[in-house]
């Protein structure tokens, strides 16, 4: 979520947890670092809106004046890495349309409300629809394609014709889920039920149909997991008294998964969904709590919304479904109320898509924070499995989990039982980025004296360290980052990339309250209309290489792969030399193709360059850590430097040519582009268009909605998955 998410709610102002810094620790990272380092193309013209709005599947605009016959590295050999991009970049766009390159076709596969079986009526999209337990949820986000062997109904990683598409439904555009009269009043219990059900995850059986894909509505695999589904707690914190609730007095279960942002997958064929901005959904009395561990923990996690983002706890009748969102202590003990309910969110959740009856499991060994996603390093037989994770709030940290169990390919297909083996025991680390271009991983455990003797919060045991991982990371002086979003592991080099989307705040932003450092080196002013935003406005993408190319290593070398910027910005801002063909702001989604190894996709969730362009997706052929050398960044009038100029030395990748970094897609009005998957042959790309039209504030005049994508006319806009294929049938982008 980003700055754009401020207008979800008609009744209750949404708390944008991404946009609130809760890290008040005095981590020495920047002090140490600074002590050392102070020192259009006009292609989209007439008739565009007309093309942009007609029927489902319209609003898809191909542009570009070149054919793509110059493709020089397309092939079906997975062992050959592309060296350049083959498509013609698309221009920035403010149209209410999905813009893709010439020679490509996009079709809508799965939009909010689409039925998951043949018994559910078609989506009317007028606010009266119900049955979201059997329809696509809202705000499509992270997703993954699991190949399906249709004869055995088992995982078949290489099958490009049939698959189970697992996808997150992060949040909702509340206004479009209700009728005009409902939207104008407080939520009823029935409306809360609907809102709870549009959150969560879809498992969708999809089959190749001609050159694209269709949902197989007859499939028994189709499944919704919502914010009401029963989920097991597993790992070291399962059963901890801080997880006791009236629903599960032993702390072994909870209901639902919430604000499922990005994702991951396991080598044994299960899906990982990650709980990001769960903190704001709860009705709390945190401010009036007595000082103590509970208050310290809630403040550190931003659990502070008076009524909750959507007022769920206030709906009548106040039965358990609604009351469970109120975390005020009302009973005799934690087993009598929901004071601990928020502690059962903020986890990585494992789902077996191949068993529709299996219960999801929250994996507490991977720590509790605002999980963006959970990205696996390549599994190697006999080695631990490693997963990289980001905590997406301003000034939060980057983590990794290293399993105790060693990988055995015989576990493929064993579902959550394999998860019990690999994801319930291991080491959780947090990252420090040093000023000299090195970095280290610090294990979060009571064996670390800084954690054992931390005075801000006294950890009871290792479970407490996991439940309050942010506080443990504070204790060891982890490096505050500019909002870690998605990560991705380069299948060719093993290097890890992670987006740092931006950090802009007059109270806690980079350069304002949080000092600049080598890994987060920019503070500058950017104008948007009459507004001026200051900080790291456009974000960057950091990357690192583990020592010895060992993912379990405790040290690494890092640099910045790309700095976001508008192409016409000062050279101290546009450090990566971006051009009109590839300039971007606020990188968020990030993903390496497996079929075209070394091809990287970057998606944006932006609110700062949106006076010029809607959010977008770019393709890149990256180099490797250290290929660009050092860079001195001159920052003007930095508040944390007494409003003086400040030069920070950083490390960055080489400047990429347009053939190595190019804009592939621009979305419709008001959307973010987030979530990407491919068929294992690299010939079909699945991309999620999240919350088109989300800045719409009134249902009164449908013609005035911010977007009508994808249905066009005066339709309400819908989040949706699109399938993108190349008209010549070859691999996408290379």
Residue ranges in 481-500 that form contacts with Ca ion under rule CB under 5 A: 485
Residue ranges in 553-612 that form contacts with ligand FEO under rule CB under 6 A: 588
Q: How far apart are CA 348 and CA 257, in angstroms?
A: 9
Q: Which lies closer to Ca ion via its Cβ, residue 193 or residue 588?
A: 588
In the shown chain, the binding pattern of residues 205 to 244 toward ligand FEO, with x for contact by CB under 6 A and - for none, equals ----------------------------------------
Rule CB under 5 A: say whether 526 interacts with Ca ion: yes
Q: Which lies closer to ligand FEO via its Cβ, residue 521 or residue 589?
A: 589
Q: Which lies closer to ligand FEO via its Cβ, residue 199 or residue 708?
A: 199
Q: Which lies closer to Ca ion via its Cβ, residue 526 or residue 559?
A: 526
Q: Which of 240, 307, 350, 392 binds ligand FEO (CB under 6 A)?
A: 392
Rule CB under 6 A: say whether 485 interacts with ligand FEO: yes
Least Å distance, CB 142 to ligand FEO, is: 9
Q: How far apart are CA 587 and CA 540, in angstroms?
A: 7
Q: Which lies closer to ligand FEO via its Cβ, residue 392 or residue 411?
A: 392
Residue 396 interacting entry, from Ca ion, ligand FEO, none, C-beta within 5 to 8 Å by type:
none
Q: Are 400 and 431 in contact (CB under 8 A)?
A: yes
Rule CB under 5 A: say whether 19 interacts with Ca ion: no
Least Å distance, CB 605 to Ca ion, is: 6
Least Å distance, CB 1 to ligand FEO, is: 5
Strands 60-63, 672-678: pairing is unpaired
Q: Which of 182, 464, 559, 588 binds Ca ion (CB under 5 A)?
A: 588
Residue 315 interacting entry, from Ca ion, ligand FEO, none, C-beta within 5 to 8 Å by type:
none
Residue 337 interacting entry, from ligand FEO, Ca ion, none, C-beta within 5 to 8 Å by type:
none
Q: Which lies closer to ligand FEO via its Cβ, residue 18 or residue 559?
A: 18
Sheet hosting strand 260-265, strand order edge to edge: 253-255, 230-234, 361-363, 348-351, 271-275, 260-265
Q: Which lies closer to Ca ion via its Cβ, residue 271 or residue 457?
A: 271
Q: Which lies closer to ligand FEO via its Cβ, residue 18 or residue 337?
A: 18
Residue 18 interacting entry, from ligand FEO, Ca ion, none, C-beta within 5 to 8 Å by type:
ligand FEO
Phi and psi at residue 493, to the nearest 5°: -100, -15
Rule CB under 5 A: say whether 462 interacts with Ca ion: no
Specify burial of residue 51 (Cβ count, 10 A radius: 0-12, 13-18, 19+): middle
Rule CB under 6 A: say whether 1 interacts with ligand FEO: yes
Least Å distance, CB 673 to Ca ion, is: 10
Phi and psi at residue 448, to the nearest 5°: -85, 120
Residue 695 interacting entry, from ligand FEO, Ca ion, none, C-beta within 5 to 8 Å by type:
none
Residue 526 interacting entry, from Ca ion, ligand FEO, none, C-beta within 5 to 8 Å by type:
Ca ion
Number of residues that bind ligand FEO (CB under 6 A): 9
Residue found under tokens 């009459």: 530
Q: Are 362 and 380 in contact (CB under 8 A)?
A: no
Q: Omega of the bond prior to 317 within 30 degrees of 0, cis?
A: yes
Q: How far apart are CA 90 and CA 98, in angstroms?
A: 11
Q: Which lies closer to ligand FEO via its Cβ, residue 392 or residue 583?
A: 392
Let me know the angle formed at the C-alpha of 654 by 650 and 655, rounded to the nearest 5 degrees: 110
CA distances for 511 relative to 31, 223, 352, 535, angstroms: 13, 45, 43, 6
Tell which phi-psi region holds residue 52, choosing left (phi > 0), alpha (psi between -120 and 50) or beta: alpha
Q: Are 100 and 90 in contact (CB under 8 A)?
A: yes
Residue found under tokens 């490096």: 479
Q: Which lies closer to ligand FEO via its Cβ, residue 263 or residue 340?
A: 263
Q: Which of 19, 133, 170, 350 binds ligand FEO (CB under 6 A)?
A: 170
Residue 380: DSSP 8-state:
-
Q: How far apart are CA 39 and CA 377, in angstroms?
A: 37
Least Å distance, CB 129 to ligand FEO, is: 25
Q: How far apart are CA 375 and CA 393, in angstroms?
A: 18
Can you list the positions of beta strands (E) in 76-161?
98-101, 104-111, 140-149, 154-155
For residue 180, the surrounding DSSP H or E stretch is helix 180-183
Tell which phi-psi region holds residue 316, choosing left (phi > 0), alpha (psi between -120 and 50) or beta: beta
In the shown chain, the binding pattern of residues 427 to 446 toward ligand FEO, with x for contact by CB under 6 A and - for none, equals --------------------
Rule CB under 6 A: say whether 665 interacts with ligand FEO: no
Tell which phi-psi region holds residue 112, choosing left (phi > 0), alpha (psi between -120 and 50) or beta: beta
Residue 170 interacting entry, from Ca ion, ligand FEO, none, C-beta within 5 to 8 Å by type:
ligand FEO
Handedness of CA 710, 711, 712, 715 (dihedral sign): negative
Q: Which of 18, 275, 583, 694 binds ligand FEO (CB under 6 A)?
A: 18
Rule CB under 6 A: say whether 464 interacts with ligand FEO: no
In the shown chain, the binding pattern of residues 360 to 389 toward ligand FEO, with x for contact by CB under 6 A and - for none, equals ------------x-----------------
* Per-residue burial over 99-121, b = 16 or more CB atoms within 10 Å of its CB, e = otherwise: bbbbbbbbbbbbbbbbbbeeebe
CB atoms closer than 10 angstroms to residue 320: 10
Least Å distance, CB 40 to ligand FEO, is: 28
**Cβ-based neighbours of 69, under 8 Å, separated by 6 or more:** none
Least Å distance, CB 704 to Ca ion, is: 26
Residue ranges in 251-290 that form contacts with ligand FEO under rule CB under 6 A: 261, 276
Q: Are 256 and 227 in contact (CB under 8 A)?
A: yes
Q: How far apart are CA 124 and CA 538, in angstroms?
A: 38
Least Å distance, CB 195 to ligand FEO, is: 17
Least Å distance, CB 601 to ligand FEO, is: 16
Residue 276 interacting entry, from ligand FEO, Ca ion, none, C-beta within 5 to 8 Å by type:
ligand FEO
Per CB under 6 A, residues contacting ligand FEO are 1, 18, 170, 261, 276, 372, 392, 485, 588
Give the interface with Ca ion as residue ranges (CB under 5 A): 485, 526, 528, 588
């Amino acid at each position: 979520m980003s700055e754009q998410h401020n207008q979800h709610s008609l009744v209750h102002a949404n708390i944008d947890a991404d946009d609130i810094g809760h890290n008040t620790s005095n981590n020495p990272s920047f002090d140490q670092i600074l002590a050392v380092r102070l020192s259009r193309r006009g292609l989209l013209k007439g008739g565009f809106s007309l093309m942009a709005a007609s029927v489902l599947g319209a609003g898809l605009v191909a542009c570009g004046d070149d054919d793509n016959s110059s493709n020089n590295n397309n092939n079906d050999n997975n062992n050959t890495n592309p060296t350049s991009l083959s498509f013609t970049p698309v221009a920035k766009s403010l149209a209410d349309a999905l813009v893709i390159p010439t020679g490509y076709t996009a079709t809508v596969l799965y939009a909010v409300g689409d039925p998951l079986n043949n018994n559910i009526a078609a989506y009317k999209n007028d606010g009266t629809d119900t049955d979201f337990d059997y329809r696509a949820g809202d705000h499509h986000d992270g997703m993954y394609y699991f190949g399906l062997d249709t004869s055995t109904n088992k995982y078949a990683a290489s099958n490009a014709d049939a698959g189970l598409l697992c996808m997150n439904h992060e949040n909702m555009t509340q206004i479009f889920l209700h009728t005009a009269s409902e939207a104008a009043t407080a939520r009823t219990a029935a409306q809360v039920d609907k809102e709870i059900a549009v959150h969560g995850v879809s498992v969708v059986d999809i089959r190749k149909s001609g050159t694209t894909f269709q949902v197989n509505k007859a499939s028994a695999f189709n499944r919704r997991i919502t914010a009401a589904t029963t989920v097991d707690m597993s790992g070291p914190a399962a059963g901890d008294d801080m997880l006791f609730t009236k629903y599960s007095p032993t702390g072994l279960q909870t209901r639902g998964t919430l604000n499922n942002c990005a994702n991951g997958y396991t080598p044994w064929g299960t899906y990982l969904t990650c709980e990001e901005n769960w903190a704001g959904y709860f009705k709390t009395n945190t401010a009036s709590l007595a000082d103590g561990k509970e208050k310290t923990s809630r403040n550190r996690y931003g659990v502070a919304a008076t009524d909750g983002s959507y007022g769920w706890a206030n709906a009548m009748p106040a039965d358990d479904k609604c009351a469970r969102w109120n975390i005020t202590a009302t009973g005799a003990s934690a087993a009598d109320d929901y004071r601990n309910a928020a502690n059962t969110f903020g986890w990585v959740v494992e789902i077996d898509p191949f068993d529709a009856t299996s219960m999801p499991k929250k994996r507490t060994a991977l720590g509790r924070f605002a999980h963006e996603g959970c990205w696996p390093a390549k599994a190697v037989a006999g080695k631990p499995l490693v997963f990289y994770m980001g905590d997406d709030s301003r000034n939060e940290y980057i983590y990794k989990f290293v399993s105790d169990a060693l990988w055995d390919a015989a576990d493929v297909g064993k579902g959550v039982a394999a998860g019990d083996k690999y994801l319930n025991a291991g080491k959780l680390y947090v990252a420090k980025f040093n000023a000299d271009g090195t970095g280290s991983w610090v294990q979060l455990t009571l064996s670390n004296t800084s954690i054992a003797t931390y005075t801000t919060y006294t950890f009871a045991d290792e479970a407490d360290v996991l439940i309050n991982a942010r506080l443990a990371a504070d204790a060891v002086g982890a490096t505050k980052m500019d909002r870690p979003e998605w990560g991705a592991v380069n299948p060719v080099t093993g290097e890890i990339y992670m987006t740092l989307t931006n950090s802009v705040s007059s109270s806690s932003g980079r350069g304002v309250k949080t000092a600049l450092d080598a890994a987060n080196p920019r503070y500058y002013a950017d104008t948007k209309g009459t507004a001026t935003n200051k900080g790291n406005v456009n974000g960057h993408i950091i990357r690192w290489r583990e020592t010895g190319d060992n993912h379990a290593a405790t040290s690494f070398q890092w640099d910045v792969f790309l700095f976001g910027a508008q192409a016409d910005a000062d050279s101290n801002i546009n450090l990566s030399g971006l051009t009109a063909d590839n300039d971007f702001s606020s990188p968020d989604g990030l993903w390496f193709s497996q079929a075209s190894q070394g091809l990287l996709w970057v998606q944006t969730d932006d609110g700062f360059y949106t006076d010029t362009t809607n959010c977008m997706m770019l393709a890149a052929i990256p180099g490797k850590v250290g290929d660009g050398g050092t860079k001195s960044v001159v920052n003007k009038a930095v508040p944390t430097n007494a409003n003086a100029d400040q030069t920070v030395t950083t490390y960055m990748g080489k400047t990429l040519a347009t053939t190595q970094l190019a804009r592939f897609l621009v979305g419709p009005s008001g959307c973010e582009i987030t979530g990407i998957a491919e068929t294992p042959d690299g010939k079909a790309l699945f991309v999620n268009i999240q919350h088109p039209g989300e800045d719409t504030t009134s249902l009164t005049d449908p013609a005035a909605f911010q977007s009508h994508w994808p249905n066009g006319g005066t339709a309400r806009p819908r989040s949706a998955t699109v399938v993108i294929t190349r008209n010549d049938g070859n691999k996408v982008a290379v």
